[in-house]
């Protein structure tokens, strides 16, 4: 066997081994990263997962997350159950989400680059947000034809969805349309009382009776009495002024 035949045979066996091992015929290793469990095909799962939202609703999620992290922080601990990086991720997502469709699917590389955080830190932050109910996601894959016997699909970025648990929304009080806290409710009552006092001072006796008495018949009777008193007082003032003018 000459040198040329040996080289050709060697190339043949290398090509055979390439196919068996799932590598490309040009000698480069194929991407053999496994598809994550419970992954869904990109383009077939998002319609029922994403939902439209609004800027107010997104801001509500952010505020609820900050209040929740502050309220649930244990004494002596530096961070709350979410942590600062998780709040950064949530704020970034609030700027990326499409309000009309709800689309939100940044890659991990994009998140780490924007926040200047490590991949592990971002992954932990995402997990914390999901564990506490502020985030959910779907793993996705898409077709990726490869030569030879390599994998025919590849993992792509997750589809994310923002949310806020009821226990966190309750911390926002009346900002979410919920009943006000006792302190806020007392302040509102004080404001109304002050406005009522100012209004009452502008009323005459008849109007005051109508304002104070809920019984319409009684209020009308008192209003008539009030008008009579007002007329009498007005007549006295007019008579007093006339007498003063006469002496003058």
The rounded mean pLDDT for the chain is 77
Give just the sign of the alpha carbon dihedral 83, 123, 159, 40: negative
Dist CA 113 CA 111 (whole Å): 5
Q: Which of 9-13, 85-89, 192-196, 243-247 has the highest mean pLDDT?
A: 85-89
Residue 22: what pLDDT?
A: 47
Between 141 and 3, residue with greater pLDDT: 141
Tell me, yes or no, if the pTM score tops 0.85.
no
Inform me whether the pLDDT recorded for 35 exceeds 90. no
247 pLDDT higher than 80? no
Asked whether 92 and 115 are in contact (CB, 8 A), the reply is: yes
Task: With a cut of 70, say whether residue 108 has pLDDT above it.
Answer: yes
**What's the mean pLDDT in 134-162?**
86
pLDDT band, residue 152 (cuts 50/70/90): confident
Q: Which pLDDT belongs to residue 25?
A: 42
């Amino acid at each position: 066997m000459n040198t040329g035949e040996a080289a050709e045979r060697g190339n043949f066996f290398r090509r055979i081994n390439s196919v068996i091992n799932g590598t490309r015929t040009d000698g480069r290793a194929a991407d053999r990263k496994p598809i994550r469990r419970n992954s869904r095909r990109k383009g077939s799962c998002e319609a029922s997962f994403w939902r439209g939202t609004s800027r107010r609703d997104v801001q509500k999620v952010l505020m609820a997350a900050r209040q929740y992290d502050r309220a649930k922080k244990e004494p002596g601990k530096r961070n709350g159950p979410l942590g600062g990086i998780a709040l950064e991720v949530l704020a970034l997502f609030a700027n990326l989400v499409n309000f009309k469709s709800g689309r939100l699917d940044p890659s991990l590389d994009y998140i780490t680059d924007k926040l200047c955080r490590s991949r592990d830190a971002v992954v932990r932050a995402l997990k914390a947000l999901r564990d506490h109910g502020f985030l959910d996601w779907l793993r996705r894959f898409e077709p990726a034809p490869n030569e030879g016997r390599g994998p025919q699909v590849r993992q792509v970025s997750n589809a994310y969805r923002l949310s806020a648990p009821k226990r966190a929304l309750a911390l926002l009080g009346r900002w979410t349309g919920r009943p006000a806290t006792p302190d806020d409710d007392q302040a509102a009552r004080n404001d109304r009382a002050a406005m009522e006092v100012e209004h009452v001072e502008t009323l005459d006796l008849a109007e005051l009776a109508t304002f104070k008495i809920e019984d319409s018949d009684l209020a009308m009777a008192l209003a008539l009495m009030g008008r009579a008193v007002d007329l009498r007082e007005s007549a006295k003032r007019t008579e007093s002024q006339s007498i003063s003018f006469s002496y003058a």
